[in-house]
């Protein structure tokens, strides 16, 4: 029993961290967001709502500058003020912004946002437990190996989430008559924005797999759907 106590403690710590970060995220979002009211965008989100047989899709503006979209663990969808400003300035089209909303809806529908919070705190617990176990057998580098293994696992999990959310968005946008075009053109735009900024990518790109790989995955889907028709 004594042997397993540290692992149990690590798991309890992870659970407590999860509750705390979910609470903190919700509180931060409540304090710094408002519901988005934009007629041009609403006509597109209404088309997506109709495709899903929902009365409407609620989108919130999160008052921060970095260009990002977010799906909260409670299922709310957020677009940052920075992203919305790009749309207002004409750098990003209404359909392109709708594709971001569709992507975030994918994370909600597929249960990613809740899992991701668990991933994050679960990662801490796993890292701590692994470090303790490995550290006993391989003093010194055991801790380092534990960290590397945990990071690798988390990267794999989040990458597959992104491709799944992209595929969900592609299906939804197609059903709503908007198509995959805006998704692909947005990726290309954000990528070129990165080059203009001297390599500093918008946050929404950084937390996602390589743009070229995502575009290739979307084109593969498109090709498959076209041949099925």
Give me the least distance between CB of 107 and Zn ion, in Å please.
6
Structure tokens at 136: 């006993």
Q: Residue 216: phi, psi to the nearest 5?
A: -60, -40
- 59 Cβ neighbours under 8 A, 6+ residues apart: 35, 36, 41, 45, 77, 78, 79, 101
- Residue closer to Zn ion by CB (options 165, 186) is 165
The residues facing 60 across adjacent strands are 35, 78
Give me the least distance between CB of 158 and Zn ion, in Å please.
8
Residues near Zn ion (CB under 5 A): 162, 165
Give me the least distance between CB of 58 and Zn ion, in Å please.
19
- Residue closer to Zn ion by CB (options 96, 162) is 162
- Residue closer to Zn ion by CB (options 11, 109) is 109
Taking the alpha carbons at both ends of the chain, their separation in whole angstroms is 60
Give me the least distance between CB of 168 and Zn ion, in Å please.
10
- Residue closer to Zn ion by CB (options 61, 71) is 71
Give the side-chain half-sphere CA count within 13 A for 93: 14
Give me the least distance between CB of 218 and Zn ion, in Å please.
14
- Residue closer to Zn ion by CB (options 97, 165) is 165
Q: Taking a C-beta distance cutoff of 8 angstroms, is the pair 79, 101 a contact?
A: yes
Q: How far apart are CA 191 and CA 56, in angstroms?
A: 31
């Amino acid at each position: 029993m004594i042997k397993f106590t540290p692992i149990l403690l690590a798991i309890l710590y992870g659970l407590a961290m999860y509750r705390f970060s979910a609470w903190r995220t919700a509180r931060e979002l409540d304090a710094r967001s408002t519901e988005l009211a934009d007629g041009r965008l609403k006509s597109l989100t209404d088309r997506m709502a109709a495709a899903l047989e929902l009365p409407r899709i609620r989108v919130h503006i999160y008052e921060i500058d970095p260009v990002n979209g977010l799906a909260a663990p409670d299922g709310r969808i957020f677009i940052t003020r920075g992203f919305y400003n790009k749309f207002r300035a004409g750098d990003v089209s209404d359909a392109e912004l709708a594709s971001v909303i569709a992507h975030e809806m994918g994370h909600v529908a597929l249960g990613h946002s809740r899992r991701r919070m668990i991933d994050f705190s679960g990662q801490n617990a796993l890292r701590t437990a692994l470090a303790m176990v490995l550290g006993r057998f391989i003093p010194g580098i055991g801790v380092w190996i534990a960290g590397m293994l945990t990071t690798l696992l988390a990267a794999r999990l989040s990458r597959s989430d992104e491709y799944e959310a992209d595929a969900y968005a592609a299906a939804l946008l197609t059903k709503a008559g908007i198509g995959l075009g805006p998704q692909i053109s947005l990726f290309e735009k954000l990528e070129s924005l990165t080059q203009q900024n001297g390599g500093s990518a918008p946050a929404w790109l950084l937390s996602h797999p390589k743009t070229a790989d995502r575009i290739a995955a979307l084109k593969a889907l498109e090709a498959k759907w076209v041949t099925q028709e």
